[in-house]
Each structure stands twice: as structure tokens, then as C-alpha cells.
Structure 1
Amino acid sequence: MKIANDRFDADQDSAPLDMLSALFKAHGWPVTSAADELAGEIKGSWTTYQVKGLWRGEDNVLQILCLPEIRIPAEQMAAAHELVTLINEQMWLGHFDIWSSGGVLLYRNGNLLGDDGLLSIAQAQALIETAVEECDRFYPAFQFVLWGGKTPREALAAAMVDAAGEA
């Protein structure tokens, strides 16, 4: 995939938020950006995800957040935290969190970029695809716990069977 605009050629590594913005625009995904933050939307298999890129230049760290628009009710917080723990044991990249203010579920992946602080289009694509794929993979488990009455272990087992059965 070749993406170019007035500020850079995407065949070359670029500033992380510029590269992510170009990726979003190339796919036709809505995107807005500020100095150290990018926000957009991507339609997944189950829902539309809010995706954010946060850049911390002093450390060359790019954080990717993906929010599946799930709020955890107070009465189900313990079960949701247990499910998050079980899910995180299955993950190689990133992890799920529940924000203490508002009970918002999110996927988070922090990425330490090299000394130059640049990102390639392949890296940008992989980071965004991973975030959306992990949210899609575990979205049913949260549905099973929050609305299906399953225990966290039952929900995770059911979600993994469903995911394995998809073509």
C-alpha cells in the first residue's frame, strides 16, 4: 500500500501520528488529530471502535487505545475484572483494562519506537489491525458476562469456541 500526502511519503518512516492519520485516511476511516493525539473510528466485526493514538515524544512511546463502547455496570465490575484477567493471560500484545472512572472497557498497547521516533506504514497497519482484531476476538466474552449471564470462565470458553469456528 502506498500512501502519500504533502508532508511525507509513506514508503518512508514518518512521525507516528502523521503515519496513523495517513493510514486512517487511506482506508476512509474518520479521523481527527491534535498535537499529541489522534482519534478515529473503525468498524469491527461486532461494533464500531473508537481508536486513539497517543504520542509521548520525550520517551518515543506510541500508545494505541481501542474502545469497544462497553461500559461495565457497578454490579458486574467484579466479574468483568475477572474476565479481563483471564483474557489478558491469552494475549501476546497489549492488554485490556477497565477505567476506574466510568467503567469503560479498553484495549491498550504501548509501543516503544526507536531513537528516531518514526513509524513505518507496515507498523502502523499492524498496530491498528492488532487492536481491532483483539477487540473483535474478545467482544463476545464481555457480552456473555454482561448480558448473557455467563461466568467469566464460561464466557471466555464460549467466545474462544465461537472465534475458532469462524470462517
Structure 2
Amino acid sequence: MRQERSDFSRHDECPPVEMLGQLFEARGWSYEYVTEDELTGEVQGSWANYQLRAIWRSEDNVLQLLCLPDIRVPEDKRAAMFEVLGLINEQLWLGHFDVWSSTAMLLYRHGLMLGDDGMLSLSQAQMLIEVAVEECDRFYPAFQFILWGDKSPQDALACALVDAAGEA
């Protein structure tokens, strides 16, 4: 049974997919439950709309969050994209970027190990979403510089970080 929004407080903990559903509901973001253990939704970032997918694996108490910026990597750009992903992933403390082998979709992925009770707090849920969107926004220009600007991975990353540092 889902809690009503009026019962939702920042100290509550509940099953992770349910907590994320409550967070999406409170923020007015579109979402839907794929299964009891999976939620998909959409969040507006600075550069694009990002599809978010949360998948709960109860046997390990792990919540996996995927953030997809709707970027497909064509075959001729994969080597450069994998190189820039390596450079980017060296800088990340949480999560990593990857390209799905079956669809060539770029994604950010983070697995969050929860305690024995398998509960997620509101602050954990907010941080999980915020970090995913911030990292996608931070490096989105680098991906575009490779795909559309034919820049080298090093130049794409340098240009993207200069542009991001210059934003107010």
C-alpha cells in the first residue's frame, strides 16, 4: 500500500522503488511502475530530458539507477566515445558512464547497496537522482562534441568542462 503524500516526511524510509515513486510524485515528474521492483520516469536536465530507470534486486539489497540521455552512439564514433568515457569515469566518485552493447545507448549507471532492511530514505533517493542528473548534465557537452563536432576525446572533455565552468 502506498503512502499518501501528506504522510511523506523526510525521515521516512520505505522500499526503494516505492520511495522513488513518492519522490517523483512529489516533484510532479512523470513516472510509471514497470513491475513492483522497477520504475521508469523522466526528468528535465539542463541539456536534455533524461529517462530514469530504477531496478530493485531484493536478494542483494541493491538498487540500480540508470539515467539515459537519449544518445545513440554510431559505430564510427564508438572508439572516441569509449575513450572519453574512460577519461570521464576516472573523475567520478559515484556511478559510471557506459554504452549498452545491444542498443548503443549511452547511459549513466549507479548501484546503491542498502542495509539489511532494504529501505531507502528520502535523502538517499534525492541524492541518487540529483547525482545522476548532475553528472549527465556535466558531461553531456563532451558527448555532443564527439558525436557532432568531431573533436578528439581529450578536446571534447576539455571544452565541455570549460563550458560548464563558465555557466552561471
- Please, what TM-score do these two structures have when normalized by structure 2? 0.94
Within 5 A, what are the aligned runs for 1:75-90? 75-90=76-91
Match of 1:15 in 2: 15
Local SS of the residue matching 1:39: strand
Corresponding residue number in structure 1 for 2:32: 32
The one-letter code sitting in structure 2 at the alignment partner of 1:30 is S
Q: Note if 1:97 corresponds to 2:113.
A: no
- CA deviation vs aligned residue, 1:112-158 (integer Å, no higher than 9, x gap): 00010000000000000000000000000000000011000000000
Deviation at 1:166, TM superposition (A): 1.2
Matched, 1:151 2:142: no
Letter in 2 for 1:82: E
Q: Does 1:121 align with 2:122?
A: yes
Q: Which residue of 2 aligns with 1:56?
A: 57
Alignment partners' CA distance in 1, 2:113 and 2:77: 34
Letter in 2 for 1:141: A
Unaligned runs of 5+ in 2: none
Structure 1's unaligned 5+ residue stretches are none
Over the residues paired in the alignment, what is the CA RMSD in angstroms?
1.6
Structure 1 residue matching 2:67: 3-state secondary structure: strand
Go from structure 1 to structure 2 and tell me whether the alpha carbon gap of 1:35 and 1:7 turns closer, same or farther (over 3 Å shift). Answer: farther
Runs of 4+ aligned residues of structure 1 deviating over 6 Å after TM superposition are none
Instruction: Name the structure 2 match of 1:142.
Output: 143
Identity of aligned residues (%): 60
